[in-house]
Amino acid sequence: MQQIILVLGWITVIAGVPDATLLTNRSFRGFKVIRALPQHMADVERIRGMMNQPIYDFWTEVILSKPVDIMVPPTYAEEIENNFVKEGIQFEILIQDIQRLIELERIPAKSVNDASEAHNMTWTEYHDLDVIYSFLDYLALNYSFVTTESIGTSFEGVDMRVAKVCKGGCGNKPSVWIDGGIHAREWISPATVTWMLRELVENDQDHPDLTEGLDWYFLPSHNPDGYAFSRTSNRMWRKTRSDLNSSEGCMGVDANRNWGFHWDEGGSRHDECSDLYLGPAAFSEIENVNVRNYVMKRKGDWVFYNTIHSYSQLVLLPWGYTEDLPVDYEEQYLYSVKAAQALAEVHGETYEVGCIPCMLYIASGNSVDWAYGEAGIKFSMSMELRDTGTNGFLLPPDQIIPTAEEVWAFHLTFLRDILETYSSKSFTPFL
């Protein structure tokens, strides 16, 4: 397809180039991440004007007086830098070469003796789904209180497998849901989820109250097709891999803008090629349908829902579709702040706590709002893991275990507080 180059103001536009051509099966050599800091609304509007162009990959949203990280191809980096200087927009080069970080990310960290003869799963490198699933099989085979279940298949026919940690059988205690990898490129998410699963099961003797008082459900990969694609074809892929019959060859939907609770009320995009594409309809993505159906079958059992993301080191609470707060927001906030303090005590990292628009931006159609508002899960949240931008989505493997350790401390504190405060199975939110 021929490239047509237009110039609008100081933004160079490449029209008619599908995202598959721009991104798939290519090196990211020379790609930079530029961090801009819009100080005025005029800065915000100029930077947002770049979001319509597929050559730019916005790693964070454009918000007044907050850093916005933009991945830029090498042929356009100098132009953007010059225009930022001309317009007086503050910026810095956050990452000089994306491909270099990708290559470093593939190098395993030094061994910490976590390898097992029974499975290939470790937390010194990032693994594909087969290895992750072999770890689930290992746990189910060796621990009587662990079982696994497919909650359905992805668009490409891959099983979405949940590990269930239930002493005395599932369904007899308040339940905890933790999922990872709804955004494909956020590899630290499935790695952290599986490390916490291992900690809960293999070190049960260190915290037996958590398995005696709660049933646990772990979905390591919410978006298995996208995750596989990010490993084999495009490290920066974010969306699902559904076929939209797009005239421009664009694939996939942002699965965290596709939930049917206040869907399409801001913070998403209708452009099929955008990383924030909300989909042709609410729950168009089979992966979200699978999770919805599974969770709703157990409605009333759940006490806690956490969907793990990266990056920015945040604990995000409802709502996302509006700046209004739930009536029990203060209780959610206080529990989360205490748990975040426990997190910080592990390795000194700090995670800010607040509602989604308080910390980021309006984001309708997200799973946290759905879990709280539709599924009725009183304590629903999303965590954005390490780091704050130095590596972004390309967190080195030597940070997997430290990240997981601190996130586990968060859950340990939060869920023990729940068990101490509440004694009944029913955790009805104050909607």
Q: Of 70, 105, 140, which residue constitutes the final position of a domain?
A: 105
CATH number of the domain residue 84 falls in: 3.30.70.340
Query: Residues 207, 350: one domain?
Result: yes
**Burial tier of 30 (Cβ tally within 10 Å: 0-12, 13-18, 19+):** middle
pLDDT of residue 51: 87
| pLDDT tens, residue by residue, 200-254 | 999 999 999 999 999 999 999 999 999 999 999 999 999 999 998 988 899 999 9
Mean pLDDT over residues 392-411, rounded? 98
169 has pLDDT over 80: yes
> Does residue 113 lie within any of the structural domains?
no
The residue segments making up the domain with residue 72 are 4-105
CATH number of the domain residue 158 falls in: 3.40.630.10
Banded pLDDT at 423 (limits 50, 70, 90):
low
pTM, two decimal places: 0.92
Query: Residues 101, 147: one domain?
Result: no
Q: What is the DSSP letter of 307?
A: E
Query: Residues 250, 389: one domain?
Result: yes
pLDDT of residue 360: 87
Query: Residues 344, 208: one domain?
Result: yes
342 has pLDDT over 90: yes
| Distance, C-alpha 73 to centroid of its chain | 24
> Does residue 117 lie within any of the structural domains?
no
Query: Residues 82, 138: one domain?
Result: no
**Among 49-58, 75-84, 106-115, where is mean pLDDT lowest?**
106-115
Query: Residues 85, 232: one domain?
Result: no
Banded pLDDT at 431 (limits 50, 70, 90):
very low
Distance CA 338, CA 333 (A): 9
Query: Residues 77, 147: one domain?
Result: no
Query: Residues 137, 244: one domain?
Result: yes
> Does residue 216 lie within any of the structural domains?
yes
Mean pLDDT over residues 333-356, rounded? 98
421 has pLDDT over 90: no
Distance CA 352, CA 332 (A): 14
Q: How would you list the strands of the sheet with 90-95, edge to edge?
A: 57-58, 68-72, 32-37, 90-95
Structural domains of the chain, count: 2
Query: Residues 79, 145: one domain?
Result: no
7 has pLDDT over 70: no
Mean pLDDT over residues 22-31, rounded? 71
290 has pLDDT over 50: yes
In the three-class reduction of DSSP (H, G, I as helix; E, B as strand; rest coil), residue 310 is classed as strand
pLDDT of residue 17: 36
Query: Residues 86, 188: one domain?
Result: no
| pLDDT tens, residue by residue, 60-84 | 989 999 999 999 999 999 999 999 9
Measured over the CA atoms of residue 197, residue 201, residue 202 and residue 207, the dihedral's sign is positive
Query: Residues 212, 68: one domain?
Result: no
More confident residue, 6 or 381: 381
Percent of the chain residues topping a pLDDT of 70:
91
CB environment 158-184: b (16+ within 10 A), e (fewer): bbbbbbbbbbeebeebbbbbbbbbbbb
Q: How far is CA 399 from CA 94, 349, 385, 405, in A?
A: 19, 12, 11, 10
Catalytic residues: 384
Mean pLDDT over residues 131-135, rounded? 97
Query: Residues 168, 75: one domain?
Result: no
397 has pLDDT over 80: yes
Q: Of 105, 138, 155, which residue constitutes the final position of a domain?
A: 105
pLDDT of residue 18: 35
Residue with tokens 């707060």: 325
pLDDT of residue 52: 80
pLDDT averaged over every residue in the chain: 91
